[in-house]
Chains A and B, each alone.
Chain A
Amino acid sequence: MNTLVRENRDTERAQSEQFIAPSASVVEAGDGYTLEVEMPGVNKDGLEISVENNELTIVGRRSRPGVEGKLIHRESRSENYRRAFELDPSIDADKITAKIDQGVVTLTLPKAEHVKPRKIAVS
């Protein structure tokens, strides 16, 4: 029962577009998971999150503010972001919520009611 939100690396990419895999953190709390994905340069409009066959896919497209001038030093990458995770069966996919704030996507993945720990009152 200790499986986490597992990363799916073997997903066949039909698209020819190149993506980079953003950094992510997964935290488990009692009643679900929180997944944080770093996508600097992406705002709400550039974010696509989908669940298909128990696979959660997050795609982030950058909308860089145009900077005037000539690029004289570069470390950033221009590719968009994409990462896929296999969802633990305990997660209720219909109740996943997402927000993006300052380039970090936060997904809340609640566990389905029937798998939540519950206390049984002794009568």
Chain B
Amino acid sequence: MSLIRYQPLEPMAWPSLERWSNLRDDLNSLLELPFWSSFSRHGQLFGGWSPALDLYQDKDNIVAVVELPGMRKEDIEISLHDGTLTISGERKSETSNGEKAERTERYIGRFRRSITLPTRVDANKIGATYRDGIVTVTLPKAEEAKPKQIEVK
């Protein structure tokens, strides 16, 4: 068995990441051959769409914030199962005939994100809003999961 030295992650510096994104663009342009274009056009060659998800917690609620730009509200599905929150949906293509895609980085198609919640929540009181391309799901904690102050008598 070999031991690998622990290497703390460097804080992410944007310039280096940008180089990667440029590299990806370059790769994409290399791949603009008929066979590959059907993959790269839909982004599936690079793993599809995994929307960024943030989770907040205070004493009463857990709040999930997901970046989903350009969706129709009715195409976003939110479900809770066994303490796992799932946000899924489909972004539909709006390109009509006679138009030619010159550059396609926006993902079209189905996506799915799941996250295990740190505490139990009350499934009947979940609320969600969609604004500026961001879905905010508010999940009130179940009574038994809320912190309790025990009074000393």
- Report A's interface with B, CB cutoff 8 A: 4-5, 7, 9, 18-21, 23-30, 33-34, 36, 38-43, 63-65, 67-77, 79, 101-104
Contact = CB atoms under 8 A, between A and B. Distances in A.
B133 A41 contact: yes
A29 B99 CA distance: 5
A40 B98 contact: no
Contacts of A25: 101, 103-106
B70 A69 contact: no
Interface string B6-21: 0000000010011001
Please indicate which of the listed interface residues A5, A23, A40, A104 has the most CB atoms of chain B within 10 Å of its own CB.
A40
A69 B67 contact: no
B103 A24 contact: yes
A69 to B, nearest CB: 3
B151 to A, nearest CB: 25
Interface of B: 14, 17-18, 21-22, 25, 52-58, 61-63, 65, 67-71, 95, 98-107, 115, 118, 130-134, 136
A68 B61 CA distance: 9
Kindly list the 7 A-B residue pairs having the minimum CB-CB distance in the complex, ordered from nearest.
A103-B133, A69-B58, A103-B69, A104-B70, A40-B133, A4-B102, A73-B55
Contacts, number: 127
Given A25-B101, A25-B105, A43-B132, A79 B14 contact: yes
A102 B103 contact: no
Contact of B52 (A19, A63, A67, A75): A75
Contacts of B65: 67, 76
Contacts of A71: 54-56
A70 B107 CA distance: 31
B56 A69 contact: yes
A102 B58 contact: no
A67 to B, nearest CB: 5
Nearest to A103: B133
A62 to B, nearest CB: 9
Contact of B56 (A18, A63, A70, A75): A70
